C-alpha cells in the first residue's frame, strides 16, 4: 500500500466531507448537544426532591407526627396549601390526575384516635395476654394518590419513605402505651410488700426515650464506593455520562461511513477507482482514517462541552483524568471499532435505505445492551451476559475503569484489545466479502 495513494484517498474523503457542511455540523454539534441534555436530565433525576401534596384531614397527633417525620426527609417536599388555601382531598386527587403533581398523601379523619387505641390494645395484649379487651375501631387507611405515568422505582421510593414514617409513628405509640401500662403490670406481678416499700414509678416516654421524639440517629450510615483499583473521587452524572454518550455519538459515524461506500458503489465511483492502480484495501484504509479524524474532532467537541458548557448549568466540570495515554488508547479503540463496523455495513448492505434503518437501530440496541441507556444491573438476569457482546459496553467499561475506578493502562487493555480486534475483524470481513463479490462472473 503506497503512502502517496493512501494520502490521496484520505484527502478525497475529507474533501467530500467538507463539502457537506450541514452534515459535518450535525456530526459535531448533535452528539455534544445530546451529552448536555442527557447529563442535565440524569443529574436532575438523581438529585431532585419530589413535591408531594399533603392533606391532613385527621388534624391529630399522628398527623402532626407524620408531617414532622416527612419534613426530615430531604428528597420529599410536602405541599399543604396552594394559592394560600388549604388543600382538600378532592383537590389533591384532581391535581394528580391532571399530572400537575405526581403524588398526594391523604390522612383520613380519625386516624390519630384509631391508631392510638390500636397501639393501646396491642400493648395491653402483649403485657396482659389473658385480659379480654373489646375490639377497637378499625384504623382508617392512609391514601396515596399517584400519577400512573410515574415509574415504578420512583413510586417505590416514595412508598418506602412513607412506610418508614408510619413505622416510626407506630413504634413510638407502642412504646408510649407500653410504658403507660408498665406500672399496672408491676402491680400485678410483684408482691404487695415490695410494692409498698418502693415508690410507684412515673413512666413518661418523652422523658425516658427522647430519641423516639427527636431527630436522633443511633446507627450512622456512610456511603463508600468499592472498586478493585481504589477510588479517588466521588462520581458525578457528568463523569458517567460524557464518556458513555460520547461513545454513542462516535458509533453513529457508521451511518455516513456506510452510506458513503454504498453511494460510491451505486454511482460507479468505486468501480472507476478500482480501474486505477489502487487496491481496495487502500481505498478502505483512506476512508477509515478520514472518518477516524472526524471522530477525534467529534470526541474533542464533546469533551470540551463537558468541561466548559455543563458548568454553566450548575453541574461539575468533566475531568478527563491525568492519564492521557490510556485515555487516548480507549478513544482510538472505540473509533476503530465504529469505523470497522461502518465499513462492514457499507460493504454488505445493498442500498442506502437499508443502512439508514439498520445502522441506527443496531447502535441503539448496542447502547441499550451495553449499559449506556440502561444500567447493566437494571437488565434482566438472562440479558446481562449478552451485554458482553456489545462493543459499546467495552468502550464504556474501559472509560469507567479510567475515570471512575482510578484505573491505569493495564486495567483497560482487555477492553481496548477487544475494540481493536472488533475493528480489525469487521474491516477484514468487509475486504474479503468485497474481494469475493468482485470475482463472481
**Alpha-carbon distance 341 to 438, whole Å?**
21
pTM here is 0.65
Q: Residue 199's domain is classified under what CATH number?
A: 3.40.1710
> Per the domain annotation, does 223 fall within a domain?
no
Helices assigned H by DSSP within 349-408:
352-369, 391-403
Query: What is residue 211's DSSP assignment?
Result: G
Same domain, 353 and 373: yes
Same domain, 136 and 26: no
Per the structure block, which three cell numbers stand in for 126?
402483649
Same domain, 17 and 71: no
**Residue-level pLDDT at 416:** 94
Same domain, 277 and 133: no
**Residue-level pLDDT at 240:** 78
415 contacts 395 by C-beta, under 8 angstroms: yes
> Per the domain annotation, does 218 fall within a domain?
no
Q: What is the residue range of 376's domain?
A: 3-44+229-439
> Per the domain annotation, does 217 fall within a domain?
no
> Per the domain annotation, does 219 fall within a domain?
no
> Per the domain annotation, does 337 fall within a domain?
yes
Same domain, 74 and 34: no
**Residue-level pLDDT at 344:** 92
Same domain, 40 and 56: no
Q: Which residues of the chain have pLDDT under 50?
A: 1, 211-213, 216-219, 221-222, 224, 226-227, 229-232, 441
> Per the domain annotation, does 259 fall within a domain?
yes
**Residue-level pLDDT at 283:** 74
Same domain, 154 and 67: yes
**Alpha-carbon distance 321 to 112, whole Å?**
56
Same domain, 278 and 419: yes
Cα 414 to Cα 130, 330, 364, 381, distances in angstroms: 70, 11, 23, 24
Query: What is residue 279's DSSP assignment?
Result: -
Same domain, 301 and 363: yes
Same domain, 9 and 59: no
**pLDDT, tens digit, for every residue of 341-380?**
999 998 888 888 888 888 888 888 888 888 887 777 667 7
Same domain, 171 and 126: yes
**Alpha-carbon distance 48 to 390, whole Å?**
32
Domain count, the chain: 2
Same domain, 62 and 26: no
> Per the domain annotation, does 108 fall within a domain?
yes
Domain boundary pick from 212, 244, 260? 212
> Per the domain annotation, does 224 fall within a domain?
no
**Residue-level pLDDT at 275:** 56
Amino acid at each position: 500500500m503506497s503512502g502517496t495513494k493512501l494520502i490521496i484517498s484520505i484527502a478525497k474523503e475529507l474533501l467530500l466531507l467538507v463539502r457537506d457542511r450541514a452534515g459535518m455540523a450535525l456530526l459535531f454539534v448533535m452528539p455534544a448537544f445530546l451529552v448536555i441534555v442527557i447529563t442535565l436530565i440524569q443529574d436532575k433525576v438523581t438529585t431532585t426532591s419530589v413535591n408531594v401534596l399533603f392533606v391532613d384531614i385527621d388534624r391529630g397527633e399522628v398527623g402532626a407526627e407524620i408531617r414532622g417525620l416527612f419534613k426530615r426527609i430531604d428528597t420529599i417536599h410536602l405541599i399543604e396549601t396552594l394559592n394560600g388555601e388549604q388543600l382538600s382531598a378532592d383537590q389533591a386527587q384532581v391535581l394528580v390526575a391532571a399530572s400537575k403533581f405526581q403524588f398526594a398523601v391523604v390522612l383520613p379523619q380519625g386516624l390519630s384516635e384509631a391508631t392510638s387505641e390500636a397501639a393501646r390494645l396491642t400493648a395491653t395484649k402483649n403485657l396482659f395476654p389473658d385480659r379480654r379487651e373489646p375490639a377497637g375501631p378499625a384504623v382508617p387507611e392512609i391514601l396515596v394518590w399517584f400519577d400512573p405515568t410515574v415509574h415504578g422505582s420512583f413510586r417505590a421510593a416514595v412508598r418506602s419513605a412513607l412506610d418508614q414514617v408510619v413505622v416510626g409513628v407506630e413504634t413510638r405509640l407502642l412504646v408510649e402505651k407500653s410504658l403507660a401500662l408498665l406500672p399496672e403490670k408491676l402491680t400485678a406481678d410483684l408482691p404487695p410488700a415490695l410494692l409498698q416499700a418502693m415508690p410507684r414509678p412515673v413512666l413518661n416516654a418523652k422523658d425516658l426515650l427522647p430519641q423516639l421524639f427527636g431527630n436522633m440517629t443511633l446507627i450512622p450510615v456512610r456511603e463508600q464506593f468499592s472498586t478493585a483499583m481504589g477510588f479517588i473521587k466521588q462520581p458525578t452524572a457528568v463523569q458517567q455520562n460524557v464518556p458513555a454518550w460520547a461513545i454513542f455519538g462516535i458509533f453513529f459515524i457508521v451511518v455516513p461511513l456506510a452510506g458513503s461506500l454504498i453511494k460510491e458503489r451505486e454511482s460507479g465511483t468505486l468501480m472507476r477507482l478500482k480501474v486505477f492502480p489502487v487496491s481496495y484495501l487502500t481505498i478502505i484504509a483512506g476512508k477509515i482514517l478520514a472518518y477516524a479524524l472526524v471522530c477525534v474532532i467529534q470526541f474533542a467537541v464533546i469533551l470540551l462541552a463537558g468541561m466548559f458548557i455543563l458548568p454553566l448549568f450548575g453541574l461539575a466540570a468533566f475531568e478527563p483524568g491525568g492519564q492521557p495515554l490510556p485515555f487516548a488508547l480507549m478513544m482510538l479503540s472505540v473509533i476503530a471499532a465504529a469505523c470497522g463496523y461502518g465499513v462492514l455495513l457499507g460493504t454488505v448492505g445493498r442500498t442506502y435505505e437499508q443502512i439508514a434503518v439498520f445502522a441506527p437501530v443496531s447502535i441503539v440496541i448496542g447502547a441499550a445492551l451495553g449499559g449506556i441507556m440502561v444500567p447493566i444491573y437494571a437488565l434482566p438476569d438472562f440479558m446481562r451476559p449478552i451485554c458482553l457482546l456489545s462493543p459499546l459496553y467495552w468502550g464504556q467499561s474501559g472509560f469507567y475503569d479510567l475515570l471512575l475506578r482510578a484505573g491505569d493502562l493495564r486495567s483497560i487493555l482487555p477492553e481496548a484489545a477487544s475494540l481493536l480486534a472488533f475493528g480489525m475483524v469487521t474491516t477484514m470481513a468487509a475486504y474479503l466479502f468485497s474481494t469475493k463479490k468482485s470475482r463472481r462472473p
